[in-house]
Structure 1
Amino acid sequence: MSATARKTAPMPDDIRAMKGGTPIVSLTAYTTPMAQMMDDHCDFVLVGDSVGMVLHGLPSTLGVTMEMMVMHGRAVARGLSKAMMVVDMPFGSYEETPAQAFRNAAILMAETGAGAVKLEGGQHMADTIAFLVARGIPVMAHIGLTPQSINTLGGYKVQGRDDQADMLMADAQAVTDAGAFSVVLEKVPARLADRITAEIAIPTIGIGASAGCDGQILVVDDMLGLFTTFKPKFVKRFGNLGRDGEAAIKAYADEVRARHFPAPEHTFAEKAPGK
């Protein structure tokens, strides 16, 4: 069933049930207007910790705070009525203990109205995922390239090549067994992503993975061409709004300096029309 035909937002079990069917569509969002634009077209919308880099100019996602995720989650929630909202758990909010993860996940869900949270990690986070799910917190897992771990991964490298493939497969199975309702596969070789998709019981959401995944997600500012600091290989630009926006700003600046703007039609007379 397509997102455009739904009258109410899906639940995590609805996303899980889309395994093997029509591909799941998702994008990130951080603001109300952007959420409104994608509400008719996405099955779920992720309030990603990528907000730190995209909107706040941080060098990585590591500086993102709970307060930032709550603020942007609330903003996105105001723009959604048909798509489910998932909120990223920021770095340092869940890794210490399952109890810490529950406290912070509960805050995110209560404060934003999110339908689920997303956290990074495979086998080593399985106990935490199970702990959250058992206490009413639906979890979307995230394996492969996990941006919050770039310091230990050695940068934004492809994950799962050569002798890493079996470990990543084990990660996928571990988060499935722990109760995650879906799993993001980031920067994973296509053949391995297809194997994982075929062998686990929950939907895979690809980002730099394979068209064979059960769904896809991109950072919306990447695919619209708004974020231009760098462009990952897996990003396709479906628009060039950054370039168009800069051209519009230049045109505005030129007209202001030439005193062409505001024109008479943009200003007001001393008396109202008809008086």
Structure 2
Amino acid sequence: MDNIGMIVPDGPATAAHVAVHYDELDIAYRRMWGDHVHHGYWRDGSETVEQAVAALVTLVEQRLALKPGHKVCDIGCGYGATAADLLSRNDVSIVGLTLSAAQQRVAMDRDAGFKCLLRDWMDNDLETGAYDRAYAIESSEHMADKARFFAEARRILRPDGRLVVCAWLEGEGVPSWQARYLLLPICREGRLPSMGSRADYIELAANAGFALAGYQDISRQVRRTWSICLMRLLKGLVTDREIRRLAFGRTTQSRDFMLSLPRLIIALRTGAMRYGMFEWKAR
């Protein structure tokens, strides 16, 4: 496991903890945001949430450069909404992996060209060299061994295959107080075993056999996500019994994630946390 130089919180954040997080908060995620479990992308700020999340998928799609017949892997597919969008415009097949049984139940009802597996990426059992494209939208953060995350992506891809990753990243030159009061709590509350920087991801990917083809920092365009989530949470606490049950129930293990919403707003606005989109080609 290579997490040298990364933000690494105290406390466990295993695949089992990640699964509990998404299973427990299934209702909250879907009622507050929808089936796309990722940021929105606002070009001019006038977009609706639905338009913004679709715009992020379009950015990923452009970098994947899909062609008819491609076999694609969605690493951390959530509810399968991204795969469904891609399938609606491309003659490809997509296999997705999720740790959440709640997410898989929804994803299994998607387009016939999509197959969702309830499986840990670190033990994915996918065929070596069988895929043309792979993407991970805000799932690599949940991987304890990020070197292995990239190694497995390279293993399943054919030579010249492409990997696109959208990731929460540690900003450059983050002061110790921001790491202590923003990034470390965000990792603990979001069940992230570590948070790497742009440089960390580039180095780990290169070591796994990838050549960087492009990088875009879209922190400014995505940061509105968390202000909207916070407002919807506050409204839900007043109007939605299920949201209140999750927020105040003593048995809810993941309710501390509510505390991360204001932290995420501050972290993205101060630059302590960045949001990056990478494109790699398999060597």
TM range (shorter): 0.3 to 0.5
TM-score by length of 2: 0.32
Between structures 1 and 2, the one with greater helix share: 2
